[in-house]
Structure 1
Amino acid sequence: MPKLEKAKSGWTTKLALILAPLISLFIMLFADLKPGNPQVTYCFAIALLMAVWWITEAIPLAVTALLPVALFPLFGVVDGKTVSSMYFNHLIFLFIGGFLMAFAMERWNLHRRIALRILILFGISPGRILLGFMLATSFLSMWMSNTATAMMMVPIALSIIMKLEESVGVKNMAKYNVGLLLGIAYSASIGGIATLVGTPPNLSFARIVSIIFPEMTEISFADWFIYALPVTVLLFIAAWLLLYFMYRPKTSWKQLEISDFRKEYMALGKAKTEEKIVLILFTVLAFLWIFRSGFNIQSFVVPGWAQLFKNPSYINDGTVAIFIAILLFIIPSKSKKGERIMNWETARRIPWNIVLLFGGGFALAQGFVESGLSTWFGEQLAGLANVEPLVLTLANVTMVSFLTELTSNVATTEMILPILAGLSVTIKINPLLLMIPATLAASLAFMLPVATPPNAIIFGTNRIRVKDMVRTGILLNLTGIIIATLIMYFWGTLVFDIDVSAFPDWAIPK
């Protein structure tokens, strides 16, 4: 497969290379999205340019990701010092640390052993392998960081992919590989929807709604779970069906037999010391990720291990990933004298182009917030004041879903929810009818590598093209929009006791 950082040369990309900057320049010169605040227009034009170049791959993706460094300071959107700092943060280090662990597994052949065990356990049909990975990823992401979940599952998936490529051929696996990796990214986002602790936008909602409407009855963990689980289940089924039918292999794997994999596993013999060390560190890494912040489910409290330290808030998933990664460079190898479990020659394979791509997404999100473009998008809903609640909810979910493709889902949630709260008070509609589906919509970002950290992680495998993610993601986006809207209107109104025709007393300004 060609390296994804190379620019494409088709007529579409050539057209995008010329037209996208011209359209952006035209918007900057002749449009005024928010009178008195030209930064809104400038940020919109730059975001449009980046979106078109990312989708068409007119220039290398990592180079497009650097546009904020050059253009935001020039047009007064974000200062150069701030925008530059966006390219390295704790999520970037989580990404780096996770890949170092994956490389260690591959270096000592642990990935092959894990792959064979999973194939023996789940079976070898394309549908069952996809379902197994998606179920595991979704369940884990309900309780831990979506990013950490994806980072943990990707090396295991890559080991399966490499094993199957050996058995059925690289060509026969090329299409299915894309579906399997997309399944991990999408499941990480879908699973997080189900619980209040599953993804940051859900926690942001719980905090913001309690601040703005202090007299409202608190939404408990159980309330949210009862409401959101059907969304997760329906979206999960839709994602599995979509990926299976779009990416199932053209030819069957009739030549594969479970017994063959059992024989291969036996042929591996006993695990080497290095394999055991890497497996132990991988298990410790997963444990530390899952139990770092603990769980708080109403009266049931499980404290996280970070509480053992003086400043637990200082510790994040990136801290954990890098700590374990450093240990890989310290622990000596038993079979290769003078070497360590990990060396820099192997570590140099980190996909730095994806690190820049990741950073570009954070920088763009910062631009949306500082320029006021996120607020402007939210204000566009004000014109829907006299529209039916169902249509208003649909418009709300659609806008947030596509907005979060280019911005941080947390930043989008933090900016949009207060606007929706104010809008609901103005038009006398229950605030939850707008705020809850908007929170869900912040997790419905399946189209672009920069939309969510899990998307960026699977794109970092260099086995997926942007156009694959876009053509699959837009179908799942639209499906998610419909599911989130209908579930809120017909199920959420029952769970949260919402009367669509009445304005609640707790929302009346005091």
Structure 2
Amino acid sequence: MKEKKSNNTRVINLAVGPLLFLLCTTLLPHQYFSTVAARGAIGTIAWMAYWWITGPVDFAVTGFLPVAVNAVIQMADMGLVIANYADEIILLLLGASIITASWELSGLDKRIASFFLVMIGNELRSQVVFWFLLTTVLSAVLPNAVVCAAITPIAVSMLRYLGMEDIGESRTGSMILMTIAYGAGVGGMASPLGGAMNLVTVQYLEEVTGKEYIYWHWVIRFLPIMAVVIISNLIYLVCRCKKGENLGGSREYFVRQYHSMGKMSGDEKWGLGLFLAATVLSFTRQLYQDYLPGLKPAYVFIICAIIAFVIVKRDGSRLITWKSAEVKIIWDLLYIYAGGLAAGTLINESGAGKAIGEAMAALHLDGGFPTIFVIVAVTLLMSDMTSNTATAAVAMPIVISMVQGIGLNPVPYIYVATIGVNLSYMLPTSIRAIPVGYGMKPRFMLRHGVWLTVISIVSLSVTAWLLVTYWPSFSTI
């Protein structure tokens, strides 16, 4: 009886997805979404979001919906949609997944896990604070995707060492992976180097002012905003951890386990060395990009993954083979991430993103708090549907023209839009696909993401209004 009820629920959820698509395609206001393509793009996002949350099919399968739907109702050039499934970040994630597959074969995963458990402790609140601050700091000067892709496997190794093979069924494991994705997203706002979306913002700032933008000015202007977002996010995440909740075991036990492992084997050193080499080269790209412009982080990870297949151990066997690697590669991760990118392509290429911006401009705002609130809310919600960079490219010119149309200085409102462009919490698109690929359920992220979205929109709208109103430097570059 229970199985029959479960099957009935699955059938209903399967049907609701395409029904949402049809409703969006027919009922969205034609005044703004004038084409079937634009309405269909929004409908595809709704369909994907519902299936990701309810799970009637595997999450990776939902990642292919943009291809299937676009083949029936062409919303964008199919070549552009398909290209997302071989995006640079997909290659980065594949390379990282291959390298870390060698960890499990050599036992390095257990060594790394016990090290972090000894260093941080097993209390969930301590773990959440550590991973959030670590990823926030790193993503302030490095691309968010690189940070999230490099840090998540380390945390996954720790969780699996503790017996959490199915992270989706573990509240504590899901909380840690979600925290890493959120921290990587938040940190990107701290400096122009935090991601391509910020470089898009800098480009528009230079265009409207006719001056070169000095990067440290960004850090100063966003310092109070970063303080609010870090504190508010951490308070929420820590409060969601129950008092005394831990990952299991005791610190003394993990100390004994760590010391009992003895010295690193050659296999472990190779696995760790390749991962560190890929990570360090990715994090220091600015030092060699003029000499090796093609050696981007994605290709660094792929090169190191290829090296892992070439290495021969002392006993004549290989460090890793494709047969041993393919069963450990997180294939779901690649297709969930690609699906989010493809959905973003539909939004932008179909004109749906521009239509959302035009609807915002039609509100005839006067530049006060309601204007700031709408800009933060719309850009933040758009970032959940598509990539942060795509949101910046679509939203910035609309915000500039809207503000200039009412005779105001666009600079502070560009900064305001940057807040929403950098933040997103609810759907497994962009870097938020990474924890889902490792097993976290999308509905877990949605449940917490809704609250953080509301908290962020309200607190940061108030903060931005105070800065625009009372801090003259916030209106300059």
| Fold similarity call, TM over 0.5 | yes
Aligned-pair CA distance for 1:174: 2.1
Q: Is residue 425 of structure 1 aligned with residue 422 of structure 2?
A: no
Tell me if 1:331 matches 2:311.
Answer: yes
Identity of aligned residues (%): 25
- Deviation per CA, 1:81-129, whole angstroms, max 9, x where unpaired? 3322221111100111111122122221112222222222233322222
Displacement of 1:225: 0.8
Check 1:30–1:156 CA distance in 2 against 1; reply closer, same or farther (3 A cut).
closer
Shift of 1:432: 2.5
- Measured after TM superposition, the shift of residue 323 of structure 1 is 0.7
Alignment-derived partner of residue 200 in structure 1:
196
Among 81, 84, 108, the alignment partner of 1:83 is 81
Instruction: Choose from 290, 306, 310 the match for 1:307.
Output: 290
1:465 aligns with 2:448: no
- Supply the distance in 1 between the matched residues of 2:407 and 2:339 (Cα, whole angstroms): 39
Asked whether 1:319 is paired with 2:299, we answer: yes
Deviation at 1:493, TM superposition (A): 5.2
* Displacement of 1:35: 7.2
| TM-fit CA distance, 1:348 | 3.0
- Greater CA deviation, 260-269 or 419-428? 260-269
Paired residues of 1:289 and 1:317 also in contact (CA < 8 A): yes
Question: For each residue in 1:184-229, what CA deviation from the matched residue of structure 2 results, as whole angstroms up to 9, or x when unmatched?
Answer: 1111111111111112211110012212x143x5442222111223
Report how far residue 30 of structure 1 moved: 5.6
* Equivalent runs, 1:209-220 vs 2, <5 Å: 209-211=205-207, 213-215=208-210, 217-220=211-214
Aligned twin of 2:94: 96
1:270 maps onto 2:270 in alignment: no
Per the alignment, residue 286 of structure 1 pairs with 279
- Give the C-alpha shift of residue 266 in structure 1: 1.7
Q: 1:391 to 1:487 in 2, by over 3 A?
A: same
Of 271-280 and 114-123, the range deviating more from structure 2: 114-123
Aligned length: 472
- Can you list the C-alpha shifts for 1:62-83, whole angstroms capped at 9, x where unaligned? 2222222122243231133332
Gaps of 5+ in 1: 1-7, 295-303
Separation in structure 2 between the aligned mates of residue 121 and residue 51 of structure 1, nearest angstrom = 38
Post-superposition shift, 1:249?
7.3
| Corresponding residue of 2:380 | 401
Aligned partners of 1:139, 1:256: CA distance in 2, in Å?
29
Deviations 1:230-254 (A, max 9, x none): 333332233233223324477567x
Q: CA separation of 1:328/1:398 partners in 2, compared to 1, >3 Å: closer, same or farther? A: same
The correspondence of residues 333-482 of structure 1 with structure 2, limited to 5 A, is 333-334=313-314, 336-387=315-366, 389-450=368-429, 452-453=430-431, 455-462=432-439, 464-482=440-458
Shift of 1:37: 3.5
- CA–CA separation in structure 1 for the residues paired with 2:346 and 2:356: 13
The CA RMSD measured in Å over matched residues stands at 2.8
Deviates more, 1:114-123 or 1:149-158: 114-123
Aligned to 2:158: 160
User: What is the identity, as a one-letter code, of the residue corresponding to 2:25?
Assistant: M
Q: Which residue of 2 aligns with 1:24?
A: 21
Match among 463, 471, 474 for residue 487 of structure 1: 463
What are structure 2's unaligned runs of at least 5 residues? none
Scaled by the length of structure 2, the TM-score of the pair is: 0.91
**What's 1:181 paired with?**
177
2:136 to 130, 135, 138: 138
Specify which of 226, 235, 239 is matched with residue 241 of structure 1.
235
- TM-score, scaled relative to structure 1: 0.85
User: Cα gap change, 1:65/1:27 in structure 2, threshold over 3 Å: closer, same or farther?
Assistant: same
Instruction: Tell me which amino acid in the other structure corresponds to 1:277.
Output: W
Deviations 1:391-443 (A, max 9, x none): 11111111111111111111111011011111111112221232212122122
Q: Does 2:43 correspond to 1:39?
A: no
Question: Quick one: distance in 2 between partners of 1:41 and 1:144?
Answer: 35
Shift of 1:25: 2.2
1:230 and 2:224 aligned: yes
Task: Give the aligned partner of residue 301 of structure 1.
Answer: none
Q: Which residue identity is paired with 1:200? A: A
Amino acid at match of 2:400: A
In 1, are the aligned partners of 2:118 and 2:255 still within 8 Å (CA)? yes
One-letter amino acid of the counterpart of residue 89, structure 2? L
1:372/1:249 Cα in 2 relative to 1: closer, same or farther (>3 Å)? Answer: same
In structure 2, the CA distance between the partners of 1:223 and 1:272, relative to structure 1 (3 Å rule), is same
Q: Deviations over 1:168-189 (max 9, x none)?
A: x999x92211111111111111
Q: CA separation in 2, counterparts of 1:65 and 1:329?
A: 29
